[in-house]
Amino acid sequence: MSIKKRLIISYIAMLLIPTIIFVVITFFTSGILKNTIKGVYNVGFHGEPVENIIEKDSIAINNIKNYMLSHKKESENANFFENQNKYLNDQTGVAIRKNNNIVYMSPFLKNGVEHNILPKFGEYEGANRPHSIAENKFMLLKQYDFYVEDGSKVSIFLFLNVSSAENIFYSFFIIEVILLVIIFVLTSSILTFIMSKSIVKPLEKLKDGVILIKNGNLDFEINVTSNDEIGELSTAFEEMRFRLKKSLEVQLQYESNRKELISNISHDLKTPVTAIKGYVEGIKDGVADTPEKMDKYINTIYIKATDLDKLIDELFLFSKLDLKKLPFNFEKVDILNYLRDCIEELKFDLDKKNINIKLQCKLLEKIYVTADREKLKRVIMNIINNSVKYMDKDIGEIFINIKNDKNFCTISFKDNGMGISKEAIPYIFDRFYRSDFSRNSETGGSGLGLAISKRIIEEHGGTIWAESENYYGTNIIFKLKKWRDDYGKEDINS
């Protein structure tokens, strides 16, 4: 999941989870509140208990009224009022006023209720309404007015103390606010921790990776576990590390190849130069004292100089191919005709060496390949020269075979020479590689022939390989791309 989505979800969760927890907790705590209030007033918000208090109020008012109507010296009967007060809910207070005199007042009202704040006769008659008896002290007031026989105005006041309920509601509200804050802080901290862990941890891994690369260490791996933006970044980073490592390895390989190349070149150049130097010294010292000897010396110097020239040519060609600086001139080549021309060119020399060369092709149609005529000739000459060089039979044979596939044309050169050992086959296309036998033999050569051929065939988009068996002969095979016109169609012109 993307980081953006995760952030949105976590923000929604930060709002939703605490809200849900808060609602659930409030639901259960409100039950406790209800019971607490019930405990204080012995009333419920629904049903029976409220009716009880109203009934008790009416009974008490009736009792007091009857008593007031029948007793004139009410001051002597404080006990009666006291009993009525006790009969009422313990949060209800009674005040009785006759004309302007307070006849009785419950003890818990005495501190708060002033004579002058009581409503006037007839003002709230029968009403049940809140009344402030002092600052921040609210009570529910019920007033009952009547006249006694002597015409005095009597008012009975019942006060229901609601300030405790108010306090309970107030503390409940405070607890709820604190609870809400705690739930919000807790859920946001937990969610923020989880979110930051999922973002910061992989970032730290990346940071460690960068430090390792900075210190030149590329041998580690970053495990990508998430599939978000950081996961993508880690994958790209891992790819970058892998490529860097590969390119470093290639660079090191190039470096060691370069060293090997220089040592090979120096060795191969030194051999003919040393020989030339030796023969020249021989002439200078007068060792070649007869015309025949002189002739032999000069001839050897010429051959060695020609070898050197050929080697320098091959080295130059190989290095140009290696650096891909040799231009290729690809054209449409009729491969059968082309091979026939090559054979024609070589036939005379091969006949002299008792080597038969045969082109075996049963195909009737012409096969066109994409090739650089000059470079392809170099490949073919290298292969045939090798067959001649490493021929150990009295009657040599070279069979050239052509196979026509959909996209490629396969050409093979099979000889009956000395063959190549299984161990040597994988290396014969490496530069400067010569099997031990050929290196020690008189055949001559630098070991660049097949390396050059391989580069040339690869530039053609083809492949080259060898199949051989010691003593029985060698088969060198290469594949060339068939000619395609601009529309990708093959030219089959029979």
Ligand X SMILES: Nc1ncnc2c1ncn2[C@@H]1O[C@H](COP(=O)(O)OP(=O)(O)OP(=O)(O)O)[C@@H](O)[C@H]1O
Closer of 205 and 393 to ligand X (Cβ): 393
**Least distance CB 284 / ligand X (angstroms):** 31
**Least distance CB 437 / ligand X (angstroms):** 6
Q: What's the sign of the alpha-carbon dihedral 63, 68, 70, 75?
A: positive
**229-237, 334-342, 434-442, 483-491 -> range binding ligand X (CB under 6 A):** 434-442
Which residue in the set 91, 143, 382, 416 belongs to the binding site for ligand X (CB under 6 A)? 382
**Least distance CB 491 / ligand X (angstroms):** 33
Q: Does 202 bind Mg ion (CB under 5 A)?
A: no
**22-30, 82-90, 329-337, 428-436 -> range binding ligand X (CB under 6 A):** 428-436
By CB under 5 A, what part of segment 432-491 binds Mg ion?
449
Closer of 371 and 450 to ligand X (Cβ): 450
- For 17, the token pair is 């989870």
Give residues with Cβ within 8 angstroms of 130, minimum separation 6. Answer: 138, 139, 140, 141, 162
Classify residue 376 as exposed, middle or buried by CB count within 10 Å of its CB (0-12, 13-18, 19+): buried
**Whether 304 contacts 275, CB under 8 Å:** yes
- Alpha-carbon span 261 to 371, nearest angstrom: 29
Closer of 368 and 433 to ligand X (Cβ): 433
**71-79, 181-189, 324-332, 447-455 -> range binding ligand X (CB under 6 A):** 447-455
For the chain, the first-to-last Cα distance in angstroms comes to 62
- For 20, the token pair is 């849900």
Q: Does 455 bind ligand X (CB under 6 A)?
A: no
**195-203, 224-232, 363-371, 442-450 -> range binding ligand X (CB under 6 A):** 442-450
- For 130, the token pair is 């809140």
Q: Radius of gyration over alpha carbons of the chain, in Å? A: 58
Q: Does 318 bind ligand X (CB under 6 A)?
A: no
Q: Does 412 bind ligand X (CB under 6 A)?
A: no
Which residue in the set 89, 106, 161, 387 belongs to the binding site for ligand X (CB under 6 A)? 387
**253-261, 318-326, 384-392, 394-402 -> range binding Mg ion (CB under 5 A):** 384-392
Question: Pick from ligand X, Mg ion, none: which does 434 bind, CB < 5 to 8 A by kind?
Answer: ligand X
Q: Does 93 bind Mg ion (CB under 5 A)?
A: no
Which residue in the set 92, 106, 416, 438 belongs to the binding site for ligand X (CB under 6 A)? 438
- For 167, the token pair is 């306090």
Q: Does 416 bind ligand X (CB under 6 A)?
A: no
Q: Does 417 bind Mg ion (CB under 5 A)?
A: no
Which residue in the set 209, 272, 447, 462 belongs to the binding site for ligand X (CB under 6 A)? 447
**Least distance CB 387 / ligand X (angstroms):** 5
Which residue in the set 18, 93, 209, 417 belongs to the binding site for ligand X (CB under 6 A)? 417
Q: Does 357 bind ligand X (CB under 6 A)?
A: no
Give residues with Cβ within 8 angstroms of 410, minimum separation 6. Answer: 402, 403, 477, 478, 479
Question: Pick from Mg ion, ligand X, none: which does 91 bind, CB < 5 to 8 A by kind?
Answer: none
Closer of 135 and 436 to ligand X (Cβ): 436
**Whether 335 contacts 369, CB under 8 Å:** yes
Give residues with Cβ within 8 angstroms of 300, minimum separation 6. Answer: 275, 279
Q: Does 419 bind Mg ion (CB under 5 A)?
A: no
- Alpha-carbon span 305 to 294, nearest angstrom: 16
Q: Does 387 bind Mg ion (CB under 5 A)?
A: no
Which residue in the set 124, 156, 446, 478 belongs to the binding site for ligand X (CB under 6 A)? 446
Closer of 313 and 351 to ligand X (Cβ): 313
- Alpha-carbon span 473 to 456, nearest angstrom: 24
Which residue in the set 139, 371, 411, 428 belongs to the binding site for ligand X (CB under 6 A)? 428
**Least distance CB 326 / Mg ion (angstroms):** 19
List residues binding Mg ion (CB under 5 A). Answer: 386, 449
List residues binding ligand X (CB under 6 A). Answer: 382, 386-387, 389-390, 415, 417-420, 428, 433-435, 438, 445-451, 474
